[in-house]
Structure 1
């Protein structure tokens, strides 16, 4: 079995050697090169033909975002962003790199003597292995723009309005979320509850970034709040989020589908609390999280939407929901916000 070819782009010699050490110890990988600048990585990209790229964010010259854009245009390759959680500027670049087509963001490993080294190294290698299998396309930031040119049929008539929108996303999610949420103007009448699988240390940066690139205020739920229009609530790191009796609740119950927070936990609670007044959307992502929760919503009479295969970065979670017959409609990414506006039209705050 051939090894996974890894290109490391990292300007710090110390960190570059550390990454080579970590990745080189894993028998699944072959480090084909470790370079100090995006420019050098791009120059050697075709010759090296990596299966996956470990990409630093703060680089001399071209930064990680611009490098992501160039890689996705020249020779689309799975990218794992390796970033230090140091300041807002770096986090913002990392989130925009995800929007531009990078697949995952992980913490830059600390020195071998640090207590967290083993877990961080293991997580990095796991992400590199998983993401190396993802098929990405050129110009990832524009992915999906060519899909959905035909007119959508009208949604089925409903006797009751909707009260809440639940969204679930994983790999490729930041890119998909910005497209869906930007298509819902600031007057969208429903509160939004969101589970996006992301490394815990980048959660606050993700929330701040999402507030800046969408028309909504984005908050980390504290528990006890009432959902409100114009606000997206996301669960805190390593906590489940539920809607119970019209208020938000947090839970430390075990992971579901290996995830905490879990999209299935959120959507199942919407099925119980809102019934047919719930809207559920499951976007691109690896695995099956959210599918069982969407099935519960569908059974309760809610309207459920899955992103279609052609516009997904990874058609795992939506496919699992479709397999369970949990989906009212399968739509390309470019048409989801249009459908949500039509469904939510006339709903009260």
Structure 2
């Protein structure tokens, strides 16, 4: 007889008694989950995570004493617990949601209402996705890398940025630190739920002088413009330096950094610098290696400045990064790249 699988241990953080009771009841209806404790503010949650750590913390955003942003920052920095933000209104709390994601929260979901099957389904699917993300991510098939510097290249320059957990804050710091008049275009792949991708792009645009918009099929990289991959499809380069969409391979998180980086290694004709930023798992490591093999500048964020060192660590382990730098030095390095001949 097959032994039962270990329960996924959850911690619940919410100052609203009605929300707590609703979530408790939902968790009790599903096999394979165990609610370890309930905390009613962030400070209490930090202490519980130290003494009785769950696998996933279900974290409210707005709370007294210590809010979800600061609690997430403390929990990610001091424990191995993953954080899923659970809030009743994402549009009303957009700034705090992306601040908490910058502090290391892995994803966000609306507080499920009892009887709303779609919200309940989404709630448990998010928890399962986080469980999947904590395991190493499968790599995409290798592509034939583009020929390095000996091949004729256009003068246009490209900066590629890939991130997951902790990415919003890291991306905001990079874009706010780079002069928006630099002669380069920027393309970003950030793991983000499809329902919040547009909010994220809007929020990111508010953090920087760079124009920021969602990438569209057929887009060309344009100097002075930031194109962000949507969460509906993987973003890829095709011949002619044009961006397109694909739904393959089917990863838990879309857009895949690996898929974007690998396609750029094959098709981008021009100078390119790529930085793999904070995130859990290994997405982007293999793609960054292919870019390095194609003769491009490849950078991984260092552990000290990462909310989660998983993705950059995976890149460092396979020799994908020419340079491993703290976030502020990544800004300087990308600025120097943009101005170099």
Q: TM-score, normalised by structure 2?
A: 0.78
Alignment match of 2:254 (pick from 255, 260, 277): 260
Alpha-carbon distance change, 70 to 257 in structure 1, aligned in 2, over 3 angstroms: closer
In structure 1, stretches of 5+ residues that fail to align are 133-158
Task: Kindly indicate whether the alpha-carbon contact (under 8 Å) linking 1:257 and 1:288 is maintained by their aligned counterparts in 2.
Answer: no
Give how far 1:62 is off.
5.9
Judged with a 3 Å threshold, the aligned counterparts in structure 2 of structure 1 residues 201 and 96 are, in CA distance, closer, same or farther, namely same
Listed as ranges, the matches of 1:223-302 within 5 Å are 223-246=217-240, 248-255=242-249, 257-275=251-269, 277-302=271-296
> Residue 193 of structure 1: CA displacement?
0.4
1:1-349 superposed matches below 5 A? 6-24=10-28, 30-38=34-42, 41=45, 45=48, 49-51=52-54, 52-59=56-63, 63-65=67-69, 67-68=71-72, 78-87=82-91, 89-124=92-127, 126-127=129-130, 163-246=157-240, 248-255=242-249, 257-275=251-269, 277-346=271-340
Q: Which moved more, 1:245-254 or 1:160-169?
A: 245-254
Give the secondary-structure state (helix, strand or coil) at the position aligned to 1:200: coil
- State the distance in 2 between where 1:45 and 1:116 align: 27
C-alpha displacement at 1:346, in angstroms? Answer: 4.0
Change (3 A) 1:8 1:15: same
In the alignment, the residues of structure 1 paired with residue 321 and residue 79 of structure 2 have an alpha-carbon distance, to the nearest angstrom, of 35
Check the 8 A contact 1:191/1:230 in 2, yes or no. yes
Deviation at 1:24, TM superposition (A): 4.3
TM-score between both structures, scaled by the size of structure 1: 0.76
For residues 141-163 of structure 1, give each alpha carbon's deviation from its aligned partner in whole angstroms, at most 9, with x where no partner exists: xxxxxxxxxxxxxxxxxx97661
Residue 321 of structure 1 aligns to a residue whose secondary structure is helix
Structure 2 Cα separation of the partners of residues 237 and 47 of structure 1: 34
Q: Deviation per CA, 1:148-193, whole angstroms, max 9, x where unpaired?
A: xxxxxxxxxxx97661111111122123222322321222321110
- Quick one: distance in 1 between partners of 2:113 and 2:308? 30
**What is the number of residues matched between the two proteins?**
320
Structure 2: state its 5+ residue gaps.
Answer: 136-151
**RMSD between aligned alpha carbons?**
3.5
Tell me if the contact between 2:233 and 2:246 (Cα under 8 Å) persists in the aligned partners. Answer: yes
Change over 3 Å in CA distance of 1:320–1:69 after alignment to 2: closer
| Pair 70,170 (structure 1): closer, same or farther in 2 beyond 3 Å | closer
* Map of 1:155 onto structure 2: none
